[in-house]
């Protein structure tokens, strides 16, 4: 299989792709999330991995928009506990480091570590692992990367500070995506039961319309695990809602969607998939 990821080998997206599909995959390395939907819809890759939220930094809102805009389907989710390591050329120490280059999210998640080190300049880059690779290829002294242990091993760098993330239990949730949507759900289609769904809807611009929808979920005993609003670009102060929910009873779930469809201007099922238990998060 060929899997699109944001970043290169050694990135957290690479780790997630291995976790979900196994290690015998081909990677399509993308320097930005916006490249991924085109590869899927053009048939250049079979699936893709895309970060969607972090326990520290919150939701990655532009990625919700990409999934919706390009009509992608969510086929799975993976939670990983992210360990950020500071790495540099062999023989370098923390005292030698003048600049740290990494992805903005990684810098954000490690800002407390650098608060008492004002002499170190933080520079935003497109990918954690790509910086590690560049340090090795160009033998850059005085420069460190924040990346995974896999990246340090792949690009022959020394880890000069372990686990520099501000919060030790720093987890990121990733969606596994594919082109288009499945035929109607049938439990026997897949090896694991699809017990979670992600949907998008746009409410009518009436007072209490969102409360009505939430009440439908409540009456059908459906547990909502996430509610995320997103502005509708061409309609100021109007919002689309993205909801994750657990499917305990598929009939109740379908009945709820049927009722909700009558109360909204748009309803889209983004994916029905097997939920990843975040209490057993993989350490990466």
**Cα–Cα dist 132/191, whole Å:** 38
Active-site entry in 12, 128, 172, 203? 172
Coil vs helix vs strand at 93: coil
Residue 113 designated active-site: no
What residue has token string 């650098």? 114
Residue 263 phi/psi, 5-degree rounding, is -115, 5
Bridge partners (DSSP) listed for residue 161? 86
Indicate the Cα dihedral angle 51, 53, 59, 61, nearest 10°: 10
For residue 199, the SS3 value is strand
Tokens coding 4: 């699109």
Cβ(246)–Cβ(196) below 8 Å: yes
C-beta separation of 199 from 257 below 8 A: yes
Catalytic (active site) residue 21: no
- Cβ atoms within 10 Å, residue 167: 10
For residue 36, how many other CB atoms are within 10 A of its CB? 25
Maximum CA pair distance of the chain? 65
Q: Which of 174, 175, 201, 242 is catalytic?
A: 174
Taking CA atoms, 86 is separated from 152, 160, 201, in Å, by 9, 6, 42
The count of other CB atoms within 10 Å of the CB of residue 133 is 20
Q: Are 197 and 245 in contact (CB under 8 A)?
A: yes
Name the residues annotated as catalytic.
172, 174
């Amino acid at each position: 299989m060929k899997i699109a990821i944001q970043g290169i080998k050694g990135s957290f997206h690479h780790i997630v792709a291995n976790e979900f599909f196994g290690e015998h995959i081909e990677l399509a390395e993308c320097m930005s999330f916006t490249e991924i939907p085109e590869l899927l819809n053009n048939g250049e890759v079979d699936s893709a991995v895309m970060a969607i939220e972090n326990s520290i930094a919150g939701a990655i809102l532009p990625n919700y928009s990409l999934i919706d805009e390009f009509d992608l389907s969510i086929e799975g989710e993976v939670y990983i506990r992210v360990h950020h390591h500071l790495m540099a050329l062999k023989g370098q120490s923390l005292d030698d480091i003048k600049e740290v280059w990494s992805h903005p999210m990684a810098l954000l998640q490690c800002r407390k570590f650098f608060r008492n080190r004002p002499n170190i300049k933080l520079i935003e880059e497109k990918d954690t692992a790509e910086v590690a690779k560049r340090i090795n290829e160009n033998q850059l002294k005085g420069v460190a990367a924040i990346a995974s242990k896999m990246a340090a091993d792949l690009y022959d760098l020394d880890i000069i500070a372990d686990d520099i993330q501000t919060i030790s239990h720093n987890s990121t949730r990733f969606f596994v995506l594919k082109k288009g949507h499945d035929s109607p759900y049938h439990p026997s289609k897949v090896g694991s039961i699809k017990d979670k769904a992600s949907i998008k809807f746009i409410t009518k611009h009436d007072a209490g319309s969102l409360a009505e929808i939430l009440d439908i979920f409540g009456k059908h005993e459906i547990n909502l695990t996430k509610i995320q609003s997103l502005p509708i670009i061409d309609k100021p102060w109007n919002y689309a809602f993205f909801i994750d929910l657990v499917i305990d009873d598929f009939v109740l779930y379908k009945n709820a969607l049927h009722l909700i469809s009558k109360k909204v201007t748009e309803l889209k099922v983004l994916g029905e998939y097997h939920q990843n238990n975040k209490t057993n998060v993989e350490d990466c």
